[in-house]
A and B are shown apart, each in its own frame.
Chain A
Amino acid sequence: MQRHRHRQARAAAWAALLICAAPAPGLSAGSGPQGAAKTAAPLETTQPAAARPWARYKVDPAGISSWPQADWGRFSDLAHPHLTPPGAETLHHSGPIEGDAGRGKRLAFDRSRGGSCVSCHVLGKDTPAQPGNVGPDLSAIGAHRSDQQLFDIVYDARVVNRDTIMPPWGAHGIFNAAEIKDIVAFLKTLQTPYRFTDRSEDPATRPPPVDKRDNLDATENPAMFVLDAGKRAYQRAGPTGKSCADCHGAAEQRFKSWAATLPRFEPRLGKVLGVEEFVTRHARATTGENLLMETEDNVGLSIYLRNLANGRPMRPDVSSPGAKQALQRGNALLRAKLGQLDMACVDCHVTHSGKWARGQLLVRFKGTVAHFPTWRTSRADVWDIRKRFQWCNVSVRANELPPDAPEYGDIELALALINQGEKLNSPGIRH
């Protein structure tokens, strides 16, 4: 009850900030030929744009796909990129390393222990399906390395190779020392190069996936139902009695290219806003509705506003000093090693792009953002780009940030600049 009254009070407070003029072309910031001065869009600027206190999703909105619930607070995340200690010494053994090769093989192939070795390596004749090739083929590694060398690289590869992206399996506590000895015992049995018989199994010859789906076909892409939710939200009057349509008129006319100019640095907040956060803050200041990020209405409006600008090339404005600083921060964050797996965005999307991580092809940054929000068939839900960032963090066992985190805005701007010229094509449909 108390929360409801609080929400009503907040809606009334935002209604008091309402400065929406009668529909008049040229008065709002945005597309179309304008005079030199543009009125900045009204924005609420004092509250978070997403749920607080932030708690990780248990499941996606459809209730089907779950999120891991572990807390990785002792490792770096985007808000604390210097938390993880650097690579230190490994454990030295004076003689041969003894272990159970059978147990080691099961551990090497166990996807629940951080992804398994097979995500990045071919491991001899018993390698499970679809091995990756981010790292070298280890099918004959037992013939070329000493026991201590094998132990060191599995325990903490950073000590052996400063530029590695291999997770510090021992130093970060994913495997204990006894388990690593078992893995070493297994690696010692790998003495013979392996010849694939199936061209699609061999990551060196595996054909890249081809997607011929029409993402804008409403009988193909369930995200079109969510776009409909956005259309309804656009027409709906909020507590102030106004709807988006009342000020902006027909969305089809008004927003032909607006979404392609986002994300953008917002000086009143000192951070980069994407479409989703803009919708939250602008609605609070105009219709009085509280369209929190990651709600169906917010994601629906994001799809709707981008869909209206489909075909327009992304053109983020990076001219202001604030935008330039955000860009610098964003590019640095793309290079920050995060999580228990100790990986940075660039590790997959720059350094090792074009290689296979298990059965998934790693791709460069360019071409990865213009289709958001996207239906994800593997999740049976629509994801906007902030949720995608959150999942990337959780995937390397780093704590995610709330969707309105300024760090995500910096990254979104850096990616938008890398993707400038890419044509909006929302909603997407992807694995």
Chain B
Amino acid sequence: MAEPMKIRATLQGDVADVKVLMSHPMETGQRKDANGNLVPVHFIQQVTATLNGRTVLDAQWSQAVSRNPFLGFRVRGAKAGDKITVAWLDNKGEKSSIDATVTPAS
């Protein structure tokens, strides 16, 4: 997938409100397809977020998170123009990363 994430980071005071929609099948490994075969497990295992290069969120996810996960978080100490990076790593070793610039709320 060319762009597997959508992100927006909005500044409210000194708090950046970050919303991320990820495109990922998040397969539990328990589901069967239309032909009755088990769909192999495939899920995001780790999510990290940085603010200007400093890690502010480090999450370990499991199969319990649903398909196309939405992640929302708020981080204090942000200013307009700061760079937020969100990255994930899944159980197949696939990775994705996306940047957002913190913008003031309009």
Chain A: CB-nearest residue to B68: A222
A380 touching B68, Cβ below 8 Å: yes
Contacts of A224 on B, CB cut-off 8 Å? Answer: 6, 21
Interfacial residues, chain B to chain A (CB-CB below 8 A): 1-4, 6-8, 19-21, 23, 25, 33-34, 39, 67-68, 70
Contacts of A210 on B, CB cut-off 8 Å? Answer: none
* Pairs A-B, 6 closest by C-beta atoms: A218-B6, A219-B19, A58-B34, A219-B21, A59-B34, A219-B6
With A and B bound together, what is the CA distance between A222 and B21 in angstroms? 8
Interfacial residues, chain A to chain B (CB-CB below 8 A): 58-59, 62-64, 66, 217-220, 222, 224-225, 228, 232, 380
Contacts of B20 on A, CB cut-off 8 Å? Answer: 219
Interface centre among B2, B21, B23 (most CB of A within 10 A): B21
With A and B bound together, what is the CA distance between A218 and B20 in angstroms? 9
Contacts of A63 on B, CB cut-off 8 Å? Answer: 33-34, 39
Other-chain residue from B3, B7, B39 in contact with A219 (beta carbon distance below 8 A): B7
B contacts with A: majority SS: loop
Beyond A218-B6, A219-B7, A219-B20, 8 extra complex contacts between A and B, CB < 8 Å? A59-B34, A63-B39, A64-B67, A219-B6, A219-B8, A224-B6, A224-B21, A225-B23
Contacts of B7 on A, CB cut-off 8 Å? Answer: 219
B23 touching A222, Cβ below 8 Å: yes
Contacts of A58 on B, CB cut-off 8 Å? Answer: 34
Interface centre among B3, B4, B6, B7 (most CB of A within 10 A): B6
B2 touching A232, Cβ below 8 Å: yes
B19 touching A380, Cβ below 8 Å: no
A380 touching B67, Cβ below 8 Å: yes
With A and B bound together, what is the CA distance between A64 and B39 in angstroms? 11
With A and B bound together, what is the CA distance between A288 and B17 in angstroms? 45
Contacts of A380 on B, CB cut-off 8 Å? Answer: 67-68
Q: How far is the CB of B63 from chain A (nearest CB, A)?
A: 15
With A and B bound together, what is the CA distance between A218 and B25 in angstroms? 18
With A and B bound together, what is the CA distance between A63 and B35 in angstroms? 11
Chain B: CB-nearest residue to A221: B21
A220 touching B21, Cβ below 8 Å: yes
Other-chain residue from A62, A218, A225 in contact with B67 (beta carbon distance below 8 A): A62
Contacts of A64 on B, CB cut-off 8 Å? Answer: 67
With A and B bound together, what is the CA distance between A380 and B23 in angstroms? 11
Interface centre among B7, B25, B34 (most CB of A within 10 A): B34
With A and B bound together, what is the CA distance between A128 and B2 in angstroms? 46
With A and B bound together, what is the CA distance between A222 and B23 in angstroms? 8
Contacts of A66 on B, CB cut-off 8 Å? Answer: 34
Chain B: CB-nearest residue to A222: B68
With A and B bound together, what is the CA distance between A341 and B1 in angstroms? 41
Contacts of A62 on B, CB cut-off 8 Å? Answer: 25, 67
With A and B bound together, what is the CA distance between A62 and B19 in angstroms? 23
With A and B bound together, what is the CA distance between A63 and B19 in angstroms? 26
Contacts of A59 on B, CB cut-off 8 Å? Answer: 33-34
Chain B: CB-nearest residue to A63: B33
B21 touching A218, Cβ below 8 Å: yes
B70 touching A219, Cβ below 8 Å: yes
Chain A: CB-nearest residue to B8: A219
